């Protein structure tokens, strides 16, 4: 055990130990908001499933995680784990034993884990009904101390034990039906060096600007790197999941922020992130709500921020897309925009509508307290931005562009005519025509239009944004609101996407002072509290899923832009 770990240490309670391309990780998180006492091998094929429990022989061991190496320590005794490719884990121990056990103790014809010894190579194999995969344990050095529950049916403990005074090492492989016996031609120490080199190259690519002023950049990069999976099931491309905790999907606006963050250093991976939901575009042009290994959901959609995102993505891509790729993207964006113009506008009405808060991405925002089916200004603004993007793409590709510009002007005019009250935007019921205001930050999101806003409107929106600014960032509901809830999802907590959209719009509208302050506070928040799904607006504590990639990406986006401004300013 001679290889020193490299890269940032992180709490495995918050961030899973995993590897780029792998569909499994090591974590105590075994279900939504559910933490086990021991670490588990958790697979994300067919959903989140804890398959194997990894329990050291001594209670109270200390766990240390870095991008390349996971270590259990008990004094000088230890167990270490490293990835050998995307589907294999190598684990070794010195004077510290390990029990590898099926996470579920009951086997039925429709659930649970079965353990048998393979006559081909003498390995032991756990088969998981939940994942539809096998998990083969091959002993490389040392010997098994015990194997219980082999070929047992029904309720039984199924486990292997390793330990004793001699060093031991095993390989755990995840695969479908059959594969050659494990060879293990690369040493454990070399695997560590390889993983260190790979992660270092990734960080150097996506955050070459990092320094003392951006101390969370390496960990943000690890969150993205480790949450990436190889194509499988409905995931048609290499994909950055939102998390390898329970939010193990790709949602059709979350992916945009990951694409932008990766664009300069990992252009191919970034392009895949932008395109992935479009691979599942339906006949009406709608994008799915979310995509997972074994599930594509269409019951909701997500807001059309893709024109906004594509402009940012193209500005940052270190390798521009080909003309054919742009033409395909144009066609896909035309269909997605057409969905909102055709399927989400009543006859003779200029403004489109959401059918539910989930469509906006702000699921339970106070905006939707009285009505769910609403015309909102954020939706109109995003469509205006997307239509402007389509006009630019059309001109670039030699297609007619005027229709997109005319439609953008039409929706923009309707947004001000029907929803603007002089200080902020209201909502409007397409059924009754009734207008209503709320205190949600959602009513200020048209600031994302930036320079496409009249100066007085931009100034008014900036004033409104400042009322949401706490010590830690932009509360989605003001903390003095009667509807504010500290852990209320979109009813108070700080979120990364709203932060990036508002910061960018303010900056492009010339409101740089408040944009700088929002950026500074969000960066400090992540450096204090990590990359949670959202944050308590008053305390800054991380909430919900604690390893969320769009939060890590938003940190990288804002940190890179801050460094660019610093360099440009001399």
Q: What is the pLDDT of residue 553?
A: 98
Share of residues in the chain with pLDDT > 90 (%): 96
Where a domain ends, among 175, 197, 219?
197
Chain-wide mean pLDDT for the chain?
Answer: 96
CA–CA distance, 216 with 350 (Å, rounded to integer):
44
**Planar angle of CA 191, 194, 200, nearest 5 degrees:** 140
- Chain centre to alpha carbon of residue 113: 29
Question: Where residue 164 sits, what CATH number does that domain have?
Answer: 2.70.98.10
With cut-offs at 50, 70 and 90, classify the pLDDT of residue 6. Answer: low
Where a domain ends, among 147, 179, 197?
197
Q: What is the pLDDT of residue 234?
A: 98
Residues ≥6 apart with Cβ < 8 Å to 543:
487, 493, 532, 533, 534, 535, 536
> Is 290 within the bounds of a domain?
yes
Question: Where residue 279 sits, what CATH number does that domain have?
Answer: 1.50.10.10
Six-digit token pair at 214? Answer: 């951006």
List 133's β-bridge partners, or say none: 128
Q: Please name the residue that has the structure tokens 């389509």.
A: 390
Where a domain ends, among 197, 217, 249?
197
> Is 560 within the bounds of a domain?
yes
How many helices (H) and strands (E) would you count in the chain?
13, 25
Number of domains in the chain: 2
Together in a domain, 413 and 534 = yes
Together in a domain, 109 and 212 = no
With cut-offs at 50, 70 and 90, classify the pLDDT of residue 165. Answer: confident
Q: Please name the residue that has the structure tokens 């106070």.
A: 366
> Is 14 within the bounds of a domain?
no
The pair phi, psi for residue 99, each rounded to 5°, is -105, 125
CA-closest candidate to residue 481, choices 524, 525, 522, 443: 443
With cut-offs at 50, 70 and 90, classify the pLDDT of residue 569. Answer: confident
Question: Is residue 4 scored above 70 in pLDDT?
Answer: no
pLDDT (mean) for 177-196? 96
Question: Is residue 5 scored above 60 in pLDDT?
Answer: no
Together in a domain, 112 and 148 = yes
With cut-offs at 50, 70 and 90, classify the pLDDT of residue 570. Answer: low
Which uninterrupted H or E stretch holds 460? helix 455-466
Question: Is residue 230 scored above 80 in pLDDT?
Answer: yes
CA–CA distance, 141 with 168 (Å, rounded to integer):
5
Between 158-167, 339-348, 472-481, the lowest mean confidence (pLDDT) is in 158-167
> Is 1 within the bounds of a domain?
no
Together in a domain, 132 and 242 = no
> Is 8 within the bounds of a domain?
no
| Residues of the domain holding 189 | 24-197
Q: What is the pLDDT of residue 423?
A: 86
Together in a domain, 41 and 71 = yes
pLDDT digits (tens, 9 = 90+) for 384-429: 999 999 999 999 999 999 999 999 999 999 999 999 998 889 999 9
> Is 416 within the bounds of a domain?
yes
Residues ≥6 apart with Cβ < 8 Å to 90:
81, 82, 83, 84, 140, 169, 170, 171, 172, 184, 188, 191
Dihedral, CA atoms, 174, 175, 178, 182, nearest 10 degrees? -40
Largest CA distance in the chain: 80
Question: Is residue 95 scored above 80 in pLDDT?
Answer: yes
pLDDT (mean) for 344-372? 97
Q: What is the pLDDT of residue 166?
A: 87
CA–CA distance, 556 with 552 (Å, rounded to integer):
6
Half-sphere exposure of 459 (CA within 13 A, CB side): 4
Share of residues in the chain with pLDDT > 70 (%): 99
Together in a domain, 147 and 248 = no
CA–CA distance, 408 with 402 (Å, rounded to integer):
10
Residues ≥6 apart with Cβ < 8 Å to 269:
228, 238, 240, 262
β-strand 133-141 against 124-128: which pairing, if any? antiparallel
Q: What is the pLDDT of residue 517?
A: 98
> Is 221 within the bounds of a domain?
yes
DSSP secondary structure letters along 382-449: HHHHHHHHHHHHHHHHT---HHHHHHHHHHHHHHHHHHB-SSSB-EE-TTT--EE---SGGGGGGGGG
pLDDT (mean) for 374-380? 98
Together in a domain, 480 and 508 = yes
């Amino acid at each position: 055990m001679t290889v020193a770990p490299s890269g940032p240490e992180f709490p495995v309670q918050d961030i899973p130990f995993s590897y780029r391309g792998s569909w499994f990780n090591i974590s105590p998180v075994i279900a939504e908001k559910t933490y086990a006492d021991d670490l588990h091998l958790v697979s994300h094929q067919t959903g989140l499933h804890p398959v194997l429990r990894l329990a050291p022989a001594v209670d109270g061991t200390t766990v240390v995680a870095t991008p390349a190496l996971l270590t259990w320590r008990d004094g000088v005794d230890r167990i270490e784990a490293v990835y050998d490719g995307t589907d294999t884990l190598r684990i070794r121990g010195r004077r510290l034993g390990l029990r590898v056990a099926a996470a579920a103790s009951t086997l039925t014809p429709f659930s649970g884990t079965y353990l048998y010894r393979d006559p081909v190579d003498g390995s032991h194999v756990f088969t998981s009904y939940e994942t539809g995969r096998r998990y083969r344990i091959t002993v490389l050095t040392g010997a098994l101390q015990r194997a219980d529950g082999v070929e047992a049916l029904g309720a039984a403990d199924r486990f292997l034990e390793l330990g004793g005074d001699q060093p031991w090492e095993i390989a755990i492989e995840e695969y479908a039906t059959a594969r050659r016996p494990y060879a293990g031609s690369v040493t454990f120490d070399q695997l560590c060096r390889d993983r260190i080199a790979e992660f270092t190259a990734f960080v150097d690519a996506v955050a070459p600007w990092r320094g003392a002023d951006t101390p969370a950049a390496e960990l943000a990069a690890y969150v993205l790197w480790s949450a990436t999976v190889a194509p499988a099931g409905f995931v048609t491309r290499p994909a950055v999941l939102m998390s390898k905790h329970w939010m193990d999907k790709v949602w059709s606006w979350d992916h945009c922020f990951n694409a932008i963050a990766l664009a300069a250093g990992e252009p191919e991976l970034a392009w895949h992130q932008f395109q992935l939901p479009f691979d599942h575009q339906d006949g009406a042009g709608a994008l799915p709500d979310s995509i997972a290994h074994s599930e594509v959901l269409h019951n909701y959609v997500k807001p059309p921020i893709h024109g906004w995102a594509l402009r940012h993505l193209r500005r940052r891509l270190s390798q521009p897309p080909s003309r054919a790729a742009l033409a395909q993207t144009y066609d896909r964006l035309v269909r997605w925009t057409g969905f909102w113009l055709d399927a989400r506008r009543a006859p003779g009405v200029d403004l489109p509508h959401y059918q539910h808060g989930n469509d906006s991405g702000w699921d339970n925002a106070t905006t939707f307290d009285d009505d769910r089916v609403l015309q909102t200004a954020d939706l109109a603004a995003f469509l205006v931005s997307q239509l402007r993007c389509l006009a630019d793409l059309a001109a670039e590709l030699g297609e007619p562009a005027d229709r997109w510009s005319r439609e953008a002007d039409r929706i923009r005019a309707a947004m001000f005519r029907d929803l603007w009250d002089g200080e902020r935007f209201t909502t409007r019921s397409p059924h009754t025509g009734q207008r209503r205001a709320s205190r949600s930050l959602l009513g200020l999101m048209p600031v994302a239009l930036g320079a496409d806003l009249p100066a007085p409107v931009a100034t008014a929106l900036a004033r409104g944004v400042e009322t949401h600014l706490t010590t830690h960032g932009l509360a989605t509901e003001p903390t003095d609101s009667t509807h504010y809830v500290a852990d209320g999802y979109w009813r108070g907590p700080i979120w990364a996407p709203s932060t990036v959209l508002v910061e960018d719009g303010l900056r492009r509208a010339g409101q740089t002072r408040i944009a700088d302050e929002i950026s500074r506070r969000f960066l400090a928040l992540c450096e204090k509290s990590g990359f949670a799904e959202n944050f308590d607006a008053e305390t800054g504590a991380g909430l919900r899923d604690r390893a969320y990639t769009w939060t890590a990406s938003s940190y990288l986006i804002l940190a890179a832009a801050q460094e660019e401004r610093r360099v440009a300013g001399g």
